[in-house]
Amino acid sequence: MSKFEELVPEHVRALGAYTPGKPLRQAERESGVRMIKMASNENPLGPSPKALEAMRAVMTQVNLYPDNEVSQLRLRLAELHGVRPEQTVVTNGSTALLGVIARTLLRPGLNAITSERSFIIYPIATKAAGGRLIIVPMTNDSYDLDAIAAAIDGNTRIIFIANPNNPTGTMIDVPRMDAFLRQVPEHVIVILDEAYCDFATDFAAARSLEYSHSIDHVREERNLVVLRTFSKAHGLAGVRVGFGLGPAGLMQYFHRMRTTFSVTALAEAAALAALDDLEHFRKTIANNRRGAEFLTSKLREMGYRPIPTFTNFIFFDAGEDAAALSKRIQAQGVIVRPLGPWGIPTAVRVTIGTLEQNERFIAALSRATEKAEVR
């Protein structure tokens, strides 16, 4: 152990690093072919055109510090969701807010609970704050809410629930979620991570389901916080802006724990403009619905059993080493996400793209599996 390691607390030394989806340029260098990226659930239609215009308009002011309170966006989000501005917090992406929440509520001796096969940031945020993470097994590729409720003890402070879940794409409907929330004691804060809410709302309506009462619970000042992001349907993953809605008395502490000036003027302007760009939003949702139908159908024709998605990605078990398969798919010019880091070594997650991108993925998968069979 070096002298520097001795200075670092044990719970920090034990942290694993986040493994992001492979960057486009890195994959192109590795494979020597032009790539499309279908690994990180980004918007294949690109950013909102209105957001691009808004960012250009404020670029001449980037010599000035941004509004630390992110006042305009918080007011707009409060109005949009029917809550008070003090019930909102905006951060540089919802992943940053997960870290803020964990640092605010956890310490050594306290714990958080989540499910296996869920968002890979939950363990990192919990352990970085010195907390212990309790991981509950899934049932039918979805959260086992009864098992999570049974795991709560006097030291539990947080329950992380991704709804829909990343990476399985499954959704917890309103009756199950509301029944669960009634069981949660007052000393526990439920974090409802609704990063894919826009896609889930669309799919749920098409399947005669009700997606979420989360904002109603926020208005009632229940012990939960709802997380959402501009990275998905609005196409702003690169500028990093996400937000939380929750009890005003709790949100004030999250405000204090944020990094000062972490939301840039470009990000705030882009988010405000994206909220007004209904045309881009509708095109994104429609493209996603068509793409999900196409990919699900083609994968089934190839003998796979993709899980019906409520998100902008498809999860399926490849029946073989997903990392090796993903490398062969990459050699065909498509980047996908093998799910070994989630503890699912034979599963793949692929982002729903444009029709051309989806067709290219299916062709790449077909060629990659044919080569494997020849060997």
pLDDT band at 28 (very low <50, low <70, confident <90, very high): low
Q: CA 143 from chain center: how many Å?
A: 16
Average pLDDT over residues 231-252: 97
110 and 142 part of one domain: yes
264 and 283 part of one domain: no
pLDDT band at 277 (very low <50, low <70, confident <90, very high): very high
| Predicted TM-score of the model (pTM) | 0.92
Question: Is the pLDDT reported for residue 374 higher than 60?
Answer: no
271 and 249 part of one domain: yes
Q: Please report the pLDDT score of residue 4 as a whole number.
A: 73
Tell me the CATH number at 96.
3.40.640.10
pLDDT band at 301 (very low <50, low <70, confident <90, very high): very high
Question: Is the pLDDT reported for residue 24 higher than 70?
Answer: no
73 and 122 part of one domain: yes
Least trusted range by pLDDT, from 1-10, 109-118, 138-147: 1-10
346 and 237 part of one domain: no
Q: What SS3 state is found at 69?
A: coil
160 and 73 part of one domain: yes
Q: Please report the pLDDT score of residue 7 as a whole number.
A: 67
Q: Please report the pLDDT score of residue 18 as a whole number.
A: 56
* Beta strands at 347-351 and 337-338: parallel, antiparallel or unpaired: antiparallel
pLDDT band at 15 (very low <50, low <70, confident <90, very high): low
Out of 259, 277, 295, pick the residue that ends a domain.
277
102 and 131 part of one domain: yes
Say if CB 321 and CB 345 are below 8 A apart: yes
109 and 252 part of one domain: yes
307 and 347 part of one domain: yes
* Percent of all residues in the chain with a pLDDT value above 70, rounded to a whole number: 92
Q: Please report the pLDDT score of residue 244 as a whole number.
A: 98
Q: Please report the pLDDT score of residue 25 as a whole number.
A: 62
Question: Is the pLDDT reported for residue 375 higher than 50?
Answer: no
Give the neighbor-by-neighbor strand order of the sheet with 224-229.
88-91, 242-245, 224-229, 189-193, 156-162, 111-115, 132-136
Say how many C-beta atoms besides its own lie within 10 A of residue 17's C-beta: 6
Structural domain including 80 reads: 49-277
How many domains is the chain partitioned into structurally? 2
203 and 339 part of one domain: no
**DSSP characters for 144-159?**
-HHHHHHH--TTEEEE
Distance CA 92, CA 302 (A): 40
Q: Alpha-carbon torsion 298, 302, 308, 313, what sign?
A: negative
Q: Please report the pLDDT score of residue 159 as a whole number.
A: 98
Least trusted range by pLDDT, from 22-31, 85-94, 118-127: 22-31
Distance CA 212, CA 160 (A): 16
| Residue closest to 191 by CA, chosen among 259, 113, 123 | 113
Buried b (16+ CB within 10 A) or exposed e, 103-136: bbbbeeebbbbbbebbbbbbbbbbbbbbbbbbbb
226 and 247 part of one domain: yes
Say how many C-beta atoms besides its own lie within 10 A of residue 331's C-beta: 17
Question: Is the pLDDT reported for residue 372 higher than 50?
Answer: no
Mean residue pLDDT across the chain: 93
Q: What SS3 state is found at 294?
A: helix
Q: Please report the pLDDT score of residue 373 as a whole number.
A: 47
151 and 59 part of one domain: yes
Tell me the CATH number at 345.
3.90.1150.10
Out of 277, 306, 338, pick the residue that ends a domain.
277
**Would residue 222 be called left, alpha or beta, if left means φ above 0 and alpha means ψ between -120 and 50 degrees?**
beta
Out of 258, 277, 296, pick the residue that ends a domain.
277
